[in-house]
Amino acid sequence: IENLKNSISNFYTMISMKCIVSKKAKIVIIVLGITIILLVLYFIFFINQNGDKKKYEEYKLMPELEHLGNYKITQITNKKLSYNFGDEFATNAERREYYKDKNPKERIDGHIYFDTIKRNFWIKTFERIDPKDGHLLYDYIEWLNYDFHGNIIQKKGEYELKKSPGIILKDEITNFYDWRNQNSTFFVEYFYEQNFQWRSLNPLRNFGSPNGSSIDWYWKGIAYLKLIMIENDINFKIETMSTNFGYNFEISLYRLNSEMAFIYIGDKYLNDKDKGLYLITRDRSPEKEFYKINYLIFYRTIVEKFN
């Protein structure tokens, strides 16, 4: 009887050990399976990300661009621009008259004044100056007048202009602009995700804030933008962040005509290395005109020969 009891006990122990080993083996297999799946997904993501990144390697920051296809790109200033309101130079009586009208005309606000008589433009720059003598920082504001070659014509103090220097150009980037709409003429073609902010997944991150839910960025990365022009597209990149409201940058677009445009890059809340105003014009350099004329001569010769 004792031997039988021992045999049964040994058999039970052996079965129990097999079950334990079996459970451990299952756990190991499951963990290995999940790990392999995650590695495969990461590999696919890595390949896609790097493949897309290589596709956009030719895109540069705006300050690095001078010529792009048939266009010349000139950085006018790297300072912050003041936003000008359409009634900035209006008198109090003119403002009262404007708002008295039940259907007033649209008031255009923006960064750039275009002088329709002298054919040049004005901007008002804002700069925070550090006196470096122990005193507080102070704001320095001045008016700058440029021609369309990017040459400065004159400077005036903040209060020296007594009347409007021209008409304000209309910004094509409206509130809540959809940068992901690739059917528009200016859009984010691709966003390369670099660093993820895990804090953005915390549902209690803004709990107790007196201002309610704030803007949180999810990914820090590079946005590759495309501006469609008549001759060729203007492609450039900008370091920014994606947020729960889109992208965390301030960009304005002003078109003077089909061949000329301004791009203003303002606050990005990341860095200021490409901040400023850029003028895009048709490249009419002697070299371009030389090749264009020679091409036309060659084309005409071929046509005449076959005719």
Which candidate, 255, 260, 267, places its Cα nearest to that of 283?
A: 260
78: enclosing H helix or E strand: none
pLDDT at 293: 40
pLDDT at 146: 97
- Which of the four pLDDT bands, split at 50, 70 and 90, describes residue 299? very low
- Give the residue-averaged pLDDT of 186-212: 73
Return the minimum-mean-pLDDT range out of 157-166, 263-272, 288-297.
288-297
pLDDT at 187: 96
User: Is the pLDDT confidence value at 286 over 60?
Assistant: no
Which is more confidently placed, 183 or 194?
Answer: 183
For 240-255, the pLDDT digits (tens) are: 888 767 888 899 999 9
Domain boundaries, the chain: 1-39, 79-168
pLDDT at 7: 59
Structure-token pair, residue 136: 């507080």
The DSSP result for 288-305, as a single string, is: HHHHHHHHHHHHHHHHHH
What order of strands is seen across the sheet that includes strand 186-196?
186-196, 217-227, 234-243, 246-247
User: Is the pLDDT confidence value at 125 over 90?
Assistant: yes
pLDDT at 5: 56
Per the prediction, the chain carries an average pLDDT of: 80
Which candidate, 171, 101, 115, places its Cα nearest to that of 143?
A: 115
Please, are residues 237 and 74 in contact by the beta-carbon 8 Å criterion?
A: no
Structure-token pair, residue 42: 């990461």
pLDDT at 32: 77
224 Cβ partners below 8 Å, 6+ apart? 56, 59, 188, 189, 190, 191, 192, 235, 236, 237
Return the minimum-mean-pLDDT range out of 30-34, 73-77, 217-221, 262-266.
30-34
| pTM, 2 dp | 0.73
User: Is the pLDDT confidence value at 307 over 90?
Assistant: no
Which candidate, 77, 78, 95, places its Cα nearest to that of 86?
A: 95
Please, are residues 195 and 219 in contact by the beta-carbon 8 Å criterion?
A: yes
For 39-96, the pLDDT digits (tens) are: 766 665 555 555 566 778 889 999 999 999 999 999 999 999 999 998 888 888 888 8
- Which of the four pLDDT bands, split at 50, 70 and 90, describes residue 295? very low
What percent of the chain is predicted at pLDDT more than 90?
A: 42
